[in-house]
Structure 1
Amino acid sequence: MDIDPQAFARLDLRVGRIAQATLNTKARTPAYKLVIDFGEIGTRQSSGQYTALYTPESLIGRQVVCAMNLGAMRIGGYEAQVLVVGARGADGAPILVGPEREVPLGADLF
């Protein structure tokens, strides 16, 4: 199978900082409503089922990787404008993916 570097380049992955995190009481599965700051790009909303491992207070200030250009979707009555990248732990709980060091808000991944 040949690798198509353009396929990866089409995905706009950026680093943001969670500015707000509140419980989404309308979601069928427990989830948080997130507001994520991308610096000069501005803020975007997202939603995620991170309640097993994170409290709202522990999310605020955390840098995360987000897919910016996949379109918006409504989750439990809340518009998610970006998708936060995560991985499932051994127990199935979502774990957030972020840079190992502080990077500028809005930094793109390559």
Structure 2
Amino acid sequence: PTMKLNPEFCLRILCLFRFLNPKAEIRIAAGRELHLRDMEVLALYPGNSLFLDGYLNTKGEQTLKTLQMIKDAGFKIRSNHSIDEILNNNFSDSSQNKYQNSSKIILKNLTDLRPHILK
């Protein structure tokens, strides 16, 4: 039998894995938006890193929305630019707002998956 995953259970899995494997590299990636929902920000505590972009076959959350979540939670990013600089310089970029209010999983199209072939 399969178990229905809810946000609390998914977060418990992440925390238990961190507790049992304190030196492990835990990357929060595809599926976090779907499975963690409103508790997504809490995954930053047991996780070491977070995928912003480049999921294998789905578009994922809006990058700037994710960066704002990281900043609001009090975390810092490793980058040549500060998180404030990135947010302030890119917040008006219309391509970033394309999927902002979408709660559905959006699959990549052929152009997204193979941009070098279609040129």
TM-score by length of 2: 0.20
Structure 1 or 2: more strand by fraction: 1
Q: Which has the higher contact order (CA 8 A, sep 6+)?
A: 1
Higher Cα radius of gyration: 2
